[in-house]
Amino acid sequence: MDQVELNPTIPGKALKEQLQKEYQVGFSIHQIFRAKSNAKKQVQGDYRKQYEVLRDYILELQSTNPDTTVKLEFESEPNSNATLRRFKIIYVCLGGMKKGFRACLRDFLGFDGAFMKGPFPGQIFTAVGVDSNNGIYPLVYAIIESENTQSWKWFLEILGDDLDLYANSNFTFISDRQKGLQAAIAQLFPCAEHKYCLRHIHDNMKRTWRSNEHKEHLWNCATATTVQEFNHLMNEFNLFDKDAYNWLKQIPPQHWARSHFTGRAISDMLLNNLCEVFNNKLVEGRDKPLITCLEYIREYMMKRICNVIKVQNKCVGPLTPSATNIMDKNVYLASQYTTRWNGSDKYQVKGPWQDQQVVDMAERVCSCRKWELTGLPCKHVIAVLNDKADNGEKIGELHTYVHRVHWLETWKAAYVHKVEPIKGRAMWPISDCPIKITPPLHHNQPGRPKKKRRQSAGERSQKKGENGNGASGSQTDGASGSQTHAASGSGKLTRKFISVTCSKCKNKGHNARTCKGQVGN
């Protein structure tokens, strides 16, 4: 138990050598695996028994963390007097994280799901926000049996109650276009802005168009901040590849292009990396029993708050570190621009590369829309402020033109609220509910459980240092046309499109096992 507790991933062979040296007795590898399994069960908990004490855990969690929301749901049971109910869903939103998210001042959330491992697999649904330093802010996690429209609706309805969201709420969501999530958001929050992760749009595009030129056109269109620039770049994409343009045009631009974002979220984020980062931190906890998995997530949140506070204590200045870096870059670029005042509150700003924009200081907007989207003054606005200062006008501190989201005091206010620790199992309150919870109907999957996220073909090719257009292998042009051999997960070429040659008769079209002595040309 001591060795497994210190190193749960210790290999069986290493454990066998240690025990044989310590006890001077020979052990078979099967005995080692059984002993290791029993030790892990005592250290991490039993998969089945943890469902029985789930209500006790919820009582302890809510008593130590005030304002915590926990929702538990079971499979439908025709017998209303049944004392056994099968587990289906659990939803957890810690009170401290809920208060801290409101203090972030950003109505922005990312959604994602990750598969559970072990004998009772399901999925972990997560909702992650963005703090003032553009870092992740985990808010909600839930363990759900399967991913579909109904489960996402259940998840979003409870989340809406926690955050006081209504059908007309102007919130912003970003996701990877998961199964059922689009329909659930459209039904529950029709007024919300729903962004799609651009990386997943590109992954879908790569199934047909894999070149770097297609990727560059996609990103150029997505990062354009004005509708005029977006339309110009889309026309260029149409001239480059009409089929790819028609495919991309089917996706409404308000879901993936900055030029069509409203700016309500004070973020121009195009990727759902915030959820990917959070899911990556939970890899080691996804194969653990139910309560142990829930505790792994809660402890990570508690630890992350402490790590962020350590960074905050080293920060000086009115803005967060990420906002400070962006502003320093904009201040440097603003020196290359000249301004012309129209006599009221508007300025014409002109710079290199025929960049000419209009800044309205009364409305605090710039025609490039970057100030509106991010809440940070762009280089054109800073050029106007420099001109006003040169003419003797009082402009005040530069950070007063930055949205409060990016202020250091806002960042610190979000992490004032903590995740409270809980006591051990022996000190949990005992639930008086007579209904006993049983695990869902699942069984052990064959083979070794997989922990790592399944990578796309493009990610595998990049890691193996293949050519830049994402296609791997060789291309051969013959009478039948061009054939491309795609890389498999092991890095080897597939046998697709390859004609087999018999080792006996040297003819093509069959192998030695099915050879019948055919005579070739």
pLDDT tens-digit series, residues 434-492: 889 998 886 555 566 666 666 665 666 666 655 444 444 333 343 333 334 444 444 55
- When pLDDT is averaged across residues 400-404 and rounded to a whole number, the result is 96
Buried b (16+ CB within 10 A) or exposed e, 105-136: bbbbbbbbbbebbbebbbbbbbbbbbbbbbbb
- When pLDDT is averaged across residues 1-18 and rounded to a whole number, the result is 79
pLDDT number for residue 473: 39
pLDDT number for residue 457: 58
pLDDT number for residue 131: 96
pLDDT number for residue 488: 42
Mark whether 154 and 180 lie in a shared domain: yes
Residue 342 tokens read as: 């129209």
Residue 254 tokens read as: 């308000």
Instruction: Establish if 280 belongs to a structural domain.
Output: yes
Say whether pLDDT at 161 is over 80: yes
Instruction: Establish if 486 belongs to a structural domain.
Output: no
Mark whether 256 and 309 lie in a shared domain: no
How many angstroms separate the CA atoms of 62 and 102, rounded?
20
- When pLDDT is averaged across residues 11-16 and rounded to a whole number, the result is 84
Mark whether 109 and 155 lie in a shared domain: yes
Nearest CA-CA partner of 383 in 419, 400, 359, 363: 359
pLDDT number for residue 13: 83
Mark whether 170 and 277 lie in a shared domain: yes
Instruction: Establish if 487 belongs to a structural domain.
Output: no
pLDDT number for residue 451: 61
For the chain, the domain total comes to 4
pLDDT number for residue 463: 64
Say whether pLDDT at 34 is over 90: no
- Could you tell me what percent of the chain has a pLDDT over 70? 88
DSSP annotation of 500 reads: P
Mark whether 73 and 213 lie in a shared domain: no
Whether 197 contacts 176, CB under 8 Å: yes
Instruction: Establish if 413 belongs to a structural domain.
Output: no
Residue 158 domain boundaries: 47-195+271-318+427-442
Query: Against a cut of 0.85, is the pTM above it?
Result: no
Mark whether 231 and 207 lie in a shared domain: yes
Instruction: Establish if 133 belongs to a structural domain.
Output: yes
Instruction: Establish if 481 belongs to a structural domain.
Output: no
Instruction: Establish if 491 belongs to a structural domain.
Output: no
Mark whether 144 and 246 lie in a shared domain: no
Mean pLDDT of the chain: 87
Mark whether 306 and 431 lie in a shared domain: yes
pLDDT number for residue 469: 46
Instruction: Establish if 265 belongs to a structural domain.
Output: no
User: Could you read off the pLDDT of 275-294 as tens digits, one per residue?
Assistant: 999 999 999 888 888 999 99
Mark whether 285 and 170 lie in a shared domain: yes
- When pLDDT is averaged across residues 390-404 and rounded to a whole number, the result is 94
pLDDT number for residue 20: 85
Q: Which of 211, 231, 260 is the last residue of a domain?
A: 260
Residue 329 tokens read as: 């870059």
Mark whether 290 and 432 lie in a shared domain: yes
Mark whether 20 and 32 lie in a shared domain: yes
Mark whether 162 and 279 lie in a shared domain: yes
- When pLDDT is averaged across residues 382-387 and rounded to a whole number, the result is 96
